[in-house]
Chains A and B, each alone.
Chain A
Amino acid sequence: MKAGDKLVWVIYDITENTKRTKVAKACKNKGLYRVQKSAFLGTLNKNQLDEFKVMCEDIISPDKDSVYIFPMCEDDFKKVKLLGQAFDRKLVTDEVKALFI
């Protein structure tokens, strides 16, 4: 992770399909990784985070939907326990330097 980058969780509950898809797409475009159907995780810098917040505000209906953006510190991330189908820890913290496909 670069200095100034923050590890964030984005979790949402959105009733309308089109809006949900738009938020999911916004997450992907910002470089977050999908860890569950409505949960994304990744590193963003402050500007990207603000941008993302504004984008989500425009998409959702505030009286029905919710989007949670949780920052997480690196020390706590190291303590995360993963069971079953887990995500790639190194990928979300930008430690992977070459991605092979």
Chain B
Amino acid sequence: MTPTTIAVATRRRKPIDVWRWVGRIFLVLILLYTAVPMIWMLLTSIKSGFAALQFPPQWWPDEPTLASYHKLLDPTNSVGEDFLRFFWNSFFVSTATTILAVIVAVPAAYAFSRFDFPGRKFLFFSVLLRNMFPAVIFLVPLFILMRLLGLVNTHGSLILTYLTFGLPLAIWLLKGFYDNIPYQLEQAARIDGATRFQAFLLIVMPLSTPGIIATAIYSFIGAWNEYIFAYTFLSKNDQLTLPVGVQRFFSENTTDFPGLMAASFMMSLPVVVLFLLLQRYFVRALTEGAVKQ
């Protein structure tokens, strides 16, 4: 580094930074692309059914009303009764899936991270590969299997099949976390007389809590948003989860766009809140495996 290059560099920094402006304009445009549909959903959801069906549209609702939300959340009318039941079904199925996926994935991920048993590579890559296969490939045979087990039209069928995508992902995410926990901690515990399993339970588990939380959220969001299995396996109205339920009851009455937008908002709210609260863990877990060079 000679003094002249420093001089050149400082002189070059003077003029307006074109790229910074390109970046700002780009951010504004992409913010519009992202936010406008969501804002439009919210604005429509507080219109009356009549106000929504105008052309050109009311950009800002003349008489904003929360009627659609009242209808969805009031258990004494049929729409609210259904909607709240779908909500509960989604919550139940997602929670059960999450608990099962974490219980099964934690020891498996730990083994993939720590042990070097024959078949380890093959098993881990089949876990990775599973993430590539669409639900549709599994749908017909699983439908047959669920019929054999008598699980069609039960939440059991969903909880079991949601493990097809929840489990491989959970194993992948958790392995990344275990890889980053120093092995010496367990060694120290084992020198002090703990068995390998005790070391895992008492030392590694508590340290991987953030990873387990992130994995649980990921699995919950995946199950909450799942559509195709629920759409195929469930037909009874009182069993439906939100994505399918909302579709069912609005396909009967397609003109209620404020209702549909309010339902879309209510359906997205829990996962968005969950995500925003814990996005730091979540993003770290997601990118850890892919970014390491």
A binds B: no
B residues lining the A interface (CB < 8 Å): none
